[in-house]
Structure 1
């Protein structure tokens, strides 16, 4: 084929460039077509033409017909040289896979892997090389499988849409919490300076309604540096009626060393729906520490939640272990607590663990007051059996029909 066009200055420049020695193999045409061949030395009398030798014969191309000349790499030349020697079977293709991997020819490597699977669909090495894994007897590509399951890739992980939504919500919440941490640092600085700015900062903390401020407020409440404003922080948490604030206030009501702070937290809990607080306190009635049992009962006495009745009956008398230490004759000391903190002491001998039943006055008081709140009057002291009998009878239906149909 010989293609001829009228010479121009642009053609001359292009031909001059192509006249340099080259080993180009692919000629990309302006029209989008591609021709593979070898660039020959252009004829001196026609510098605007490119002489190309292809497998079907020689061609002459006008230089401005060609958009790009792609030179084959030495690895590609070697690949084409050894390819005809490859046996057209699984073993031959697998050797070519390994050779292509060593010579950085990923496209050719994948071609030979696909050829292997066409001949042997269960070829494990080829499957693994293409990214497959065997799951329940079926070869799958994890990414494609995850897509088929409706999953979305986010931050390098595959997640279900609902998990993505929850993750985005958590990130948004954390961003909002960080903004509040910055605001609180500013409020604290203003309060240290005193004056009108301090009063304004206190008023703004007391007026907080944003639930994203919950976690920063809880963190400040736990920090010993902010003892002077803890009552303000408790009141601010009281404005945020959510599970996290309720659990934080419940812990303060039970554990805080300050009686006034405990009382303030209990007042806040009394003003809001307290199912979450009651559930947390009921779980504490099973604590191995007798002090925790009675503190939880004291808060329940304030909340008077009927869901606690059964657990209060069970916790009237609790069993706890104590550590007893024996020592020199005549040396005796005693302390009560959990198994890891205190006990009877008789010198420095090896301690023993003893078990003791404890009557819990705070539990009895919480039980009686909760029943009174429900319009019930009963008091069997610490007699759990009598309490359980009474509790069972009050929960039974008034009439029972024992007749059977038919």
Structure 2
């Protein structure tokens, strides 16, 4: 016989359906424990201490005062969260999907110091009213020439990136990272690499071989800057392939950035893959930052490549960034008839309220993120009508990012970011990790 509230494996499967969730019904302070069940539900409350011999069950006192004993084999993981987070989730499920309701909940989140949840509610406001100025301002957007941009986006658009808390140009960044002696050594290599590339481009076979042989023999880290600048964007893919080979034989951290850039942005798949393999054979702790930054790229294509790169690198420290990038929103510029004020991108390839249907190849390209700068769709065989360019947002589920998470963690919660975050919290919060007998 089992104790009155004990739920063994067989009975639990019958008594607890896929949605076994106890809703927060009273306000208390502090934290509470959350048990994630393998069957799909959740139990919230306070775990009770058990005798050491009671290793096959966990007793949890729910937020309403009742006690439930759960077979440990039915537990996916256990974590500990602030009660304010529990209350937020209860509130978010019950409010109306209106601008005012989401704004009110965003203000509540601010009062309770729930930063990411406040951000999520403000984003929901923008889904309902894209030009809501207060929500935009709260999220750090600025309206420039009719387009909303964050400060980082605005500065990047003007050619600046953030370095140690301030914005600098890419040229200034290089100077900040190098001293004068290093720059002098690098300048010497610019002259040499430029000369050898010109030899490779000559009509004399002997000179071509001389130039090729000299570049293939480079192993000095100070040559990396010249190699990357003169060969990284070369129109001849064979030159870019040679760059990967040459960088691969240079020791140290200097080759990491150009290899990462090739792995993320080169148009030739074979070059991207060879650059990624070259990185995987190194200590890439310094290169990870480039792939993490690429997870936030405006092009979904780059986001997917970053996910693939992080899967190959296999460093578990990037799990939080991968979770955040499971679903990303991207904006596309599309030319449409100027007949209405509201447009939305539907899963069936149409723009809401317009009757405009995208050609199948264009629709597929948008969904796959192959048009990072948008696409202009002109109607065929129709009378001339006023046209305008609009911004259309689309949420992408990033398969490569999910694959990276599955490979690195050996877990699979699909595209459910919340479950991933709960699981990750359970592995990181030492006080919240509860041994579970499998």
State the TM-score, normalizing by the size of structure 1.
0.50
Return the index of the structure with the highest Cα Rg.
Answer: 1
Instruction: Give the TM-score taking structure 2 as reference length.
Output: 0.46
Question: Structure with the greater relative contact order (CA < 8 A, sep ≥ 6): 1 or 2?
Answer: 2
- Which structure shows the higher helix fraction? 1
